[in-house]
Each structure stands twice: as C-alpha cells, then as structure tokens.
Structure 1
Amino acid sequence: MGRQESSAEFSDPTPVFQPLQLPPPASNAFDVLTRRWVPQVLYLLCQRQARFSELARALPTMSRRVLMQRLRQLEDEQLIQRIVTPGPPTRITYEITDLGAGLGATLRHAEMWGERYLKARPLP
C-alpha cells in the first residue's frame, strides 16, 4: 500500500519494459543534497539568516573547518549568499538565495518524513 502511494507522486510512470533511468536534474539535486552537512545548513538558513557562530552552535558535531567549506561551496553554487556589513565590528551573515529557498519545501518534507519515521521505527 505504501509503495503505491509514493509511486503515485511521479506523474509519468516508466513502463516496466523500459530500463530505469535517473534524469540529470534529479541526479544534480541528489548530488547537492547528499553532500555531508549541506541539507542541515540549508535547512537552518531557510529559517532565517545567521552568523557563522550561530550555525556552528546549531550544528555542534560539525567542525568549524567543514562548516566554512560548506558555506563557501554553497555560496559558489549560489544557494546562499554572504552578507558583509561594515563595522566596527564587521558583521558577516549568511542567508539563503531564491535558488536555495526552492529547496525549503523539500527540506520541510524531509522533516515531516523524519517525524513519521521516528514514530514508526521500533525502539532498540
């Protein structure tokens, strides 16, 4: 029953006799979303803009070096932007771009699925 519900979300089902294919747009999206820590950073920045230290506190098991790498990658990919406000002191914040915000609904759906998963899975 669960498989039928999820497969109904795909508007153009592939006939059984055709080979399965991963379309390039889906592949690109999965490449972004499966990079370690990227979904978490994007999820937080979909909520509001934040300073580096706020992101580091929100993700305590992520090293600061990796956080900086991910922020630079996401900025290069135009999913977030770095905003520098002249000081003193100079203030640097990060915010989601329109392109990055397009993932907001997907990330919220992942959160809702996570709630269902936690309720459904047996405790160890």
Structure 2
Amino acid sequence: MTEAAVERAAEVLTPYCRARDVLDRVGDKWSVYVITMLGERTLRFSELKRNIHVITQRMLTVTLRGLERDGLVERTVHPGYPARVDYALTPMGESLLDTMRALLTWSVEHVDEIDTARRHYDHTKPATTNP
C-alpha cells in the first residue's frame, strides 16, 4: 500500500470524513440485502419486501430512499393504475456488487468460527456495562 493510500485510509477514522457516511450506508444490514437482491434484477417494492420478509415497510422505504439519494439505486415510476415502481442498481451501485458479494461470501464462510468465538468470549468474560 502506498503512503498516499495509507493516509487516505486513515482519513476514514477521522470524525469529519465523508467516506464514513458512505460506509455507514453501504454497510447497513438492510442496504446489503437490497443491493445484493437488486444485483440479480430490477425489482418492485413488493418483491423486495416479500424477499426480505423480516424488514418493515418503513425501513425498506428509508433504505431505498437513502440508496437512491446516494446514487446507488434508481427508482422508476411507470404510469398506470396502480402505478408500478421499479428499483434497479445504477452503474455505481453495480460497481459495488463484487465487493458486497465478497463480503457476503466471507461472512458465510466464517459464521461458524464467529459463533464459536462469541460463545467463548461470553463464557470467559464477565458481563460488564462498560466497554
């Protein structure tokens, strides 16, 4: 890693780094679900809701609006009664897919190890209210 790359990466740790906002958005658990699903194909709101059955309608709406605002998702309204609304990844959203899929793959591959580490930690560390 070059010195400039190290400095740039360290900026993420500062309180005023704009990249932290981006990481907050794309690292949000609901954003991960939505981006991954839209990576397969364009979907309607109801299809997203049905496939992410544990998300509330409000949270899905908030997530989609945030992703749209950040330029990762495009919302298309088709006239008619009732109006049809489709959601699709933008080119920038698509550019995130490989990274997102790699993170998901890593998570699946290591979930058992993480569960074991958590059980070990919970069993050996006293419960405290302070970090």
Provide TM-score, normalisation by structure 1: 0.73
- List alignment gaps of at least 5 residues for structure 1: 1-10
> Identity of counterpart residues, as a percentage?
29
1:66 partnered with 2:59: yes
Residue number among 36, 40, 47 corresponding to 1:47 in the alignment: 40
Q: Retained in 1: the 8 A contact 2:78–2:85?
A: yes
The corresponding residue for 1:114 is 107
- List alignment gaps of at least 5 residues for structure 2: 120-131
Runs of 4+ in 1 over 6 A off after TM superposition: none
- Over 3 Å counting, the alpha-carbon distance change for 1:32 and 1:122 in structure 2 is closer
**TM-aligned CA deviation for residue 60 of structure 1:** 0.8
The 1-side partners of 2:94 and 2:100 are apart by: 10
- Over 3 Å counting, the alpha-carbon distance change for 1:122 and 1:35 in structure 2 is closer
Residue number among 70, 79, 87 corresponding to 2:80 in the alignment: 87
**TM-aligned CA deviation for residue 28 of structure 1:** 4.1
The 2-side partners of 1:81 and 1:112 are apart by: 26
Aligned pairs (5 A) from 1:8-27: 11-12=1-2, 21-23=10-12, 24=17, 27=20
**TM-aligned CA deviation for residue 112 of structure 1:** 1.6
For 1:44, the aligned partner's letter is M
- Over 3 Å counting, the alpha-carbon distance change for 1:96 and 1:122 in structure 2 is closer
Higher percent of residues as helix: 2
For 1:70, the aligned partner's letter is T
- Over 3 Å counting, the alpha-carbon distance change for 1:97 and 1:61 in structure 2 is same
Residue number among 17, 20, 31 corresponding to 1:38 in the alignment: 31
Secondary structure of 2:10's aligned partner: coil
Deviations 1:5-41 (A, max 9, x none): xxxxxx3379xxx9x8244475344222233411111
Residue number among 98, 105, 108 corresponding to 1:105 in the alignment: 98
Provide TM-score, normalisation by structure 2: 0.69
How many residues are aligned here?
110
